[in-house]
Amino acid sequence: MDKLIIQGNIPLTGEIKISGAKNAALPILAASLLIPEPIQISNVPQLQDVATIMSLLGQMGVRMSLDDKSNIEADASNVTSFFAPYELVRTMRASVLVLGPLLGRFGEANVSLPGGCAIGTRPVDQHLKGMRALGADIEVENGYIKAKAKKRLEGTTIVMDIVTVTGTENIMMAAVLAKGQTIIQNAAREPEVEDLANFLNALGAKISGAGTATIIIDGVEKLTGGTYSVLPDRIETGTYLTAAAITRGKIKLKNARPETLESVLLKLQEAGAFIDTGSDWISLDMKGNRPRAITLSTAPYPAFPTDMQAQMMALNTIAEGTGIITETVFENRFMHVQELLRMGANISLKGNTAICTGIEALQGAPTMATDLRASASLVLAGLAAVGSTTIDRIYHIDRGYECIEEKLTQLGARIHRVPN
């Protein structure tokens, strides 16, 4: 198991390119099951989660190929299995996204209940509610979702009890080939949901309203092959911008989409960052200044994303003043706090709220990653700390960040990976 070693207290400077969005690539790859012709998907990040879903699809009979430019070709013309085993699904919650396309095209699915990061309860009841409303018979037995549709799924109106990204995506994929019209109300509005809809529309689907709380899907008989490029990763973008802010640096990110992370940019400006944007780039300059502490509350898009909460807490640890962060999305997403305390941070927890008073400098220390975004917060803390920081169990970070040490090295960081 590898670990990262960081020599901190160096301002980040320079330019890097943002990778494709993991949380858009995974549902798009799952959606390949809907299409009986080859498709080409570009700008796919080379991550462990992508490798996992490719392995899962390969076991089902989808022919997959990946070139050295992050392009994937998928051919689901000869799917032979509708089974998603626990051994693969337990490592990545997004594997449950094969449920909708399998039901929509083949009328059958046997999918393990999902795993993933231990950041809190993330039930799949909304997924199952939607599939049942479309006409599927579903039973949950021995840790598996067993779903069948005796005939073609039929469109209906589905009101989500809570906003759920993967739930919205799963129902949308199931409804694409259903008979008639499906309306999803209280749908997730995330850019990744909209990207999946754009992908499906490019191949013949009829989806409108993606990016709003009401998505309308008019079922079609079939989808056809084609090409699509995954949108840039807004969480990776926000992470590197915060890395520059915490180190008082100056960076430019290429292949970025500023409109997908406006809430993050506003908070970074509150922290004292000077930000400029173009259609496909973002620059941040701290002008050598110490950040100011920020207060925020996480909530579904377009509010501040829970996936950036840990990184912003790292920023607050060395910021001027006191910042208050409230986590409303997941109940167990403060596991990075104990590791930041090891580096000298001044953080107190009260329920789902963290109160952080900034100190002049963190001190390098041995730390352990507990989940994907917690890993990122420790990297940021290590970049700002005086001395050496070691981050163990970094397989978490490899699930969501492509070549993180190479990109940070391009920006002047002293970071390297070593085997344990």
Enzyme catalytic residues? 117
Tokens 């109160």 correspond to 355
Q: Are strands 144-148 and 108-112 parallel, antiparallel or unpaired?
A: antiparallel
- Which strand ranges, in their side-by-side order, compose the sheet holding 281-285? 13-17, 250-254, 281-285, 274-277
φ/ψ region of 28 (left if φ > 0, alpha if ψ in -120 to 50, else beta) reads alpha
| Cα 163 to chain centroid, rounded | 16
Residue ranges of E strands in 18-98: 38-42, 63-66, 72-75, 83-84
Alpha-carbon Rg of the chain, whole angstroms? 21
Alpha carbon distance 42, 3 (integer Å):
30
For helices 48-59 and 22-31, give the axis angle rounded to 10 degrees: 10
| Cα 352 to chain centroid, rounded | 21
Alpha carbon distance 350, 134 (integer Å):
42
Alpha carbon distance 184, 110 (integer Å):
24
DSSP conformation class of 412: T
DSSP conformation class of 313: H
Please enumerate in sequence order all residues whose Cβ is within 8 A of that of 209, keeping only pairs 6 or more positions apart, or say none: 187, 215, 216
Host H or E run for residue 241: helix 234-246
